[in-house]
Amino acid sequence: MSADASVATTDAPFLRMEGITKRFSGVTALDGVDFALVPGEVHALVGENGAGKSTLVKIMTGAYRRDGGEMWVEGRPAGFATPADAQAAGVVAVHQEIHILGFRTVAENVFLGREPRRWGVIDWRRMNDDTARLMAELGLDLDPRAALGTLSTARQQMVAIARGVSLGAKVLVLDEPTSSLAEREVAILYALIRRLQAQGTAIVYISHRFDELYAVCDRVTVLRDGKLVGTRALAGLERLDLVCQMLGKSREEMQAGDAGFAPDAPASADEPLLHADGLRRGTRLRGVNVEVRRGEIVGLAGLLGSGRTETARALFGADPAEGGSIRLKGKAIEPRSPDDGIAAGIAFLSEDRKAEGIIPELSVGENLTLAALPTLTRFGIVSRAKQQALVERYMTRLGIKASSSQQKIRELSGGNQQKVLLARWLCTDPELLIVDEPTRGIDIGARGEIQALVNELAAGGMGVLMISSDLEELVEGSSRVVVLRDGEDVARLARGEVTQDSIIRAMAGGSATAAVASAVTPASASDEPSAPAAEVGA
């Protein structure tokens, strides 16, 4: 699928974007992206984190101004300064997080800020009648007078979409619309999408769940690193090829890049250091099982939304699991907070070092010893001598390059910041180290140093769970790989089975089942489907 492999359409585009460019502080978020949307189509927009999906949608809906390129709506040049401008032109977004007023009625939420008035006061009868008429047109059995907070999440989502339709939406942007829905509620959404499509509404559909894309979408546009990879029909497009395009890998490259350099896994007879069984949390984790042995690096693979980070946070106690069990060194633990995780001997290096790692205005030494402060404190006073000794030890051991331990960490390179954060956790003497995207955003030299440090820690007997979206990193650095898809572990690859091809095939596995096909038949909001819509996409 190349950038010029667009699918010809017989209808003129309602919305067309060409060469869209957007920069933030010198960083290019979108680089010459084209996108077209025709009436009555459901168009998937996909890509990994940082691909540019959100930026493109925000330009489309007036939240951002473009820096370059052109946009047309109904053949006329358009440039929205605000979301209100976009709404006036018929382009409306329904965001992933549902924004509602729970104590207000359905009708009040639909017409919020646009209440019909008579003699200067709200015409309640007209508003309720108009809402009832709108719901009937959409095939929704909802009482306009019901308090929105008393309805299910699915029905709240329907009201949010109905509000968009009431604004005169000709283009409706649905951002992860099923993220907060139970499986059996997805069919209700599908039915509404089909009805809107039949009425000529064009829909931009953003989702990481492949079964959803193949069930309701006509075409797909893939973005990667702010650039257009291509647009084509979903019919006939193999899931494996779609995943390859999202990750920037061809089938040939996968097969050529499968030589690994992972550390040897310990004997299988050893008792697992970590045994997590059936971890569940909402719809994000749906029965994840993971084992890590001492001296082993277990890779955790999966596309965006597969449950990788959610698994790590559940193990650490940052977002406690709602079901399942965790055993560490054969002992049952229930981490309900990071303090519990640390006390149990677990360390967690987050993927977002700026938001959840470094404290930019503190020094290198202060950042490095943050987690170890309880061991350096007596009667509430930190021992500066012990703190400095610890700082010097780890700055030397990890090769942290700084003018001194007093230098502010924000002044360090990304690779050295990552080393400081790794040192922070090593100060706690963990037995299990969880690293989430450990080499993201750092130069190739620092990347090699981080990888070597992780290998050294495993060789010393520490258990490591490594999350990475870099397939080469997983192949080269993992003893085994567990592949997640849609909150479930779907493949366990032993050392001899860990290849880029096997990982991608596991991430892309699954098919649009009959359950999904039946889920998209028309249904009212009062329907309770007997079978859930399958969600086994990546």
**Residue 237 and residue 323 share a domain:** no
CATH code for the domain of 43: 3.40.50.300
**Residue 249 and residue 323 share a domain:** no
409 and 359 Cβ atoms separated by less than 8 Å = yes
Amino acid at 209: R
**Residue 326 and residue 216 share a domain:** no
Residue 134 lies in a domain: yes
Instruction: Provide the pLDDT for residue 341.
Output: 93
Residue 246: band (very low, low, confident or very high) from pLDDT cuts 50, 70, 90: confident
**Residue 271 and residue 186 share a domain:** no
Residue 403 lies in a domain: yes
**Residue 296 and residue 204 share a domain:** no
**Residue 210 and residue 87 share a domain:** yes
pTM, rounded to two decimals: 0.60
**Residue 235 and residue 287 share a domain:** no
List CB contacts of 50: < 8 A, sequence separation 6 or more: 225, 226
Instruction: Provide the pLDDT for residue 532.
Output: 31
**Residue 303 and residue 376 share a domain:** yes
**Residue 262 and residue 246 share a domain:** no
Q: pLDDT tens digits, residue range 303-326?
A: 878 899 999 999 999 999 999 999
**Mean pLDDT, residues 179-187:** 70
Q: Compute the distance between CA of residue 310 and CA of residue 290 in angstroms, rounded to an integer.
A: 13
| Residues above pLDDT 70, as percent of the chain | 85
The yes-or-no verdict on residue 449 having pLDDT over 50 is: yes
Residue 209 lies in a domain: yes
Q: pLDDT tens digits, residue range 99-152?
A: 667 788 888 888 887 888 888 888 889 989 988 988 888 777 888 888 888 887
Residue 529 lies in a domain: no
Instruction: Provide the pLDDT for residue 387.
Output: 87
Residue 361 lies in a domain: yes
Residue 282 lies in a domain: yes
- Give the rounded distance of the alpha carbon of 7 from its chain centre: 28
Instruction: Provide the pLDDT for residue 442.
Output: 67
The yes-or-no verdict on residue 256 having pLDDT over 60 is: no
Residue 528: band (very low, low, confident or very high) from pLDDT cuts 50, 70, 90: very low
509 and 181 Cβ atoms separated by less than 8 Å = no
**Residue 238 and residue 275 share a domain:** no
Domain count, the chain: 2
Whole-number average pLDDT of the chain? 82
Q: Helix, strand, coil shares of the chain as percentages rounded to 5?
A: 35, 25, 40
CB atoms within 10 A of CB 287: 14
Instruction: Provide the pLDDT for residue 49.
Output: 67
- The DSSP call for residue 271 is P
Residue 341 lies in a domain: yes
Instruction: Provide the pLDDT for residue 300.
Output: 94
Residue 35 lies in a domain: yes
**Residue 135 and residue 27 share a domain:** yes
Q: pLDDT tens digits, residue range 146-164?
A: 888 888 777 787 888 888 8
The yes-or-no verdict on residue 523 having pLDDT over 60 is: no
- Least confidently predicted of 130-144, 255-269, 370-384: 255-269
Instruction: Provide the pLDDT for residue 529.
Output: 33
Residue 251 is encoded by which pair of tokens? 């089938």
The yes-or-no verdict on residue 468 having pLDDT over 80 is: yes
Residue 518: band (very low, low, confident or very high) from pLDDT cuts 50, 70, 90: very low
Most confident of 246-255, 425-434, 500-509: 425-434
Q: Compute the distance between CA of residue 246 and CA of residue 486 in angstroms, rounded to an integer.
A: 17
Helices (H), 303-434: 308-316, 338-344, 353-356, 364-368, 373-376, 384-398, 414-426
Residue 527: band (very low, low, confident or very high) from pLDDT cuts 50, 70, 90: very low
Residue 25: band (very low, low, confident or very high) from pLDDT cuts 50, 70, 90: confident
Which domain, by its residues, includes 238?
15-253+514-519
**Residue 199 and residue 147 share a domain:** yes
